[in-house]
Structure 1
Amino acid sequence: MLSTDAQVWATVIAYVGLVIGCAGIIVPVIPGSILNLFVLIGWGVAVNSTMGWSGAAGGILLTIIGIAASWVLTGNRLKKLEVPNRVIAIAALSAVVGMFALPGPGLLIGFVVGLFIAEWVRHSTAREALATTKGTLVAVGIGLGIELLCAGAAFIALTMGVFLHFTTV
């Protein structure tokens, strides 16, 4: 078991890691939820107490629920819109190009522009492309929102674990 000072530092690092993970959910340059899973597991190992693991386990469960809900809900909405995976892949590649061409907002702008152009080519009319682009953005937004909400709940679970761990040590 680590010393109390080392556990405090592990806790600080865990919170910083979770904040970076949440940012990775919003701006998907880093796999945010996967990072959060590793952070929560690492913190549980670092403090290695029943109370600490209960908080970490709650956070891990909430993160997994967020990932699964995001995939399922986004995937179902995209299937209803009949948006093929290649369109999403083109939008993702455009987002990467946008990120380098215009650091900051370029990621979002690149995704939207790439999505619209791919849909325009697929549908041959701007009106249909705009409609499916809007629907796709809503689907992706809902998925990210749910994943971020679950990441926030995992943050709270970690905080409860931190409180319980340090008050019982």
Structure 2
Amino acid sequence: MSTLGVVLVAVAIAVGLVGIVVPVLPGGLLVFAAIAVWAIVEHTAVSWVVLGVAAALFITTEVVKYLWPVRRMRAADVRTWSLVAGGVLGIIGFFAIPVLGLLLGFVVGVYLAELSVRRDGRRAWASTVHALKGVALSVGVELTGALLATAAWVTGLVFSN
């Protein structure tokens, strides 16, 4: 692959990593897709091994990022409806107040949904904090997997030249 091609793959990976933290793009998928394009173009044993590692990391990350936080939120009795309400208000908030509105809308949505069920502000806020921790855990898991896949790609670059 040419230097320009490697730079484009690196930019796509960087955009994917940002997309994980600022959930506008499917970040993990973009990182994996960029590595897949590189592997297909390179078509070497090293590139296929890197793609295999990236695929294993991507699949594992996708499973863990949903199962682990959900289990913790269920243990804290955070309702699915509250997360849906938070997601809807987060999307509305994103368009009302770009980027920051996503977080604010999510928090307000979860809090209001929990408050409507619990009728206790302190318990509703505790559930909201658990939901935020779950989202942060999910982002952290996905970012860790994408960074490990990026490290595998960089290692593959070094070994393929």
TM range (shorter): over 0.9
2:7 aligned with 1:12:
yes
Q: 1:9 offset after TM fit, Å?
A: 2.6
Residues paired across the two proteins, number: 161
Query: CA contact under 8 A between 1:10 and 1:46: conserved in structure 2?
Result: no
Write the deviation string for residues 43-102 of structure 1: whole angstroms up to 9, x where unpaired: 111111111222222222222222221111111112212223221111111111111111
Aligned-partner Cα distance in 2 for 1:85–1:23? 27
Gaps of at least 5 residues in structure 1 are none
Please tell me whether residue 143 in structure 1 is matched to residue 138 in structure 2.
yes
Distance 1:122 1:13 in 2: 49
- List structure 1 runs of 4+ shifted beyond 4 angstroms: none
Equivalent residue, structure 2, for 1:103 = 98
Q: Residues 51-70 of structure 1: matches in 2 within 5 Å? A: 51-70=46-65
Q: Is the 8 A contact 1:92 1:111 kept in 2?
A: yes
The amino acid that maps onto 2:45 is T
Question: Are 1:44 and 2:39 counterparts?
Answer: yes
Aligned partner of residue 142 in structure 1, secondary structure = helix
1:30 aligns with 2:25: yes
Structure-1 separation of matches of 2:99 and 2:132: 19
CA contact (8 A) 1:52 1:164 kept: no
1:118 paired residue number: 113
What is the distance in 1 between the residues matched to 2:146 and 2:18?
Answer: 10
- The TM-score with structure 2 as length reference comes to 0.92
TM-score scaled to structure 1, two decimals?
Answer: 0.88
Match of 2:81 in 1: 86
1:53, 1:161 within 8 Å by CA — same for their partners in 2? Answer: no
- Could you tell me whether the CA contact under 8 Å between 2:65 and 2:138 is conserved in 1? yes
Quote the offset at 1:116 in angstroms. 1.0
Identity of aligned residues (%): 27
| Contact 1:55–1:162 under 8 Å retained in 2 | no
Q: CA deviation at 1:133?
A: 0.6
